[in-house]
Chains A and B, each alone.
Chain A
Amino acid sequence: MNGALVALIRRDLQLAYRRRGEMVTPLMFFIMVTALFPLGLDPEPMLLRTLAPGVIWVAALLAGLVGLESLFKSDYEDGSLELMVLCPVPLELVGLVRVLTHWLITGLPLVILAPLMGMLLSFPSSAMGTLLIGLLLGTPILSLLGAVGAALTVGLRRSGMLLPLLILPLAVPVLIFGARSAAMAVAGDDVSGPLYLLGAMLALALTLSPFAIAGGLRVSLEN
């Protein structure tokens, strides 16, 4: 099983690397959305500073939706998903590996870019650490939730419209605790509460969502 798991991780990373052009799209989306806000609002630093946590978090949330429907699509269409069901690695783990590699390629660069976008929105550097930790804890949850939606709709031809409706309501707590922790850090408050809650939600998502992902993939493969 270990050999199969290693092969799976290598394959996912390789595939992700070969499609790196596609992987840049969410990042570009993230940069553009955050850069558009000052243009739509007033470029007044104090205003931007209060809005920055929310803007960055909402942009990260939406960037997670870009290209999400292709997460399992090619494996579903060429039949490799059916082989993965049969392989010795449980499908739950297959899904988890896929989500984590997807997060490494799209989520992690987004987290690294976030301080830069924070600077554009005059987000104070004293609170940057909280923003980074919050995004590091929060974006994997968003990837896991997104993967549940992608697994449930992989059998549909046009799932692009449906996915946001399925995922965004579920992502509300992540947005609230993430953006609020960054805003509290700007105000100089103690941020351990919301960050612990984000950590707890990450633990919950890591343990439960693989079952939902595998269940969704099995349902999609049945018809």
Chain B
Amino acid sequence: MKSWHEFLIMGGYAAYVWPAYAITAVVLIVNAWLPGRQLRRLLKDLKRRMHEEEKP
């Protein structure tokens, strides 16, 4: 690649190369983000239940 313009055009294959990379990026980011969120929710839920058990 010699310039940004050439990079973006991808020799005429931009319509195929960039969607492929975009979908991959989305799937990888979602897969990276979901487990952390699930874990935090589960921990929060368990903590709340534990406090409820202790109160009465």
**Contact present between A and B (CB < 8 A):** no
- On B, residues with C-beta under 8 Å from A are none
- On A, residues with C-beta under 8 Å from B are none
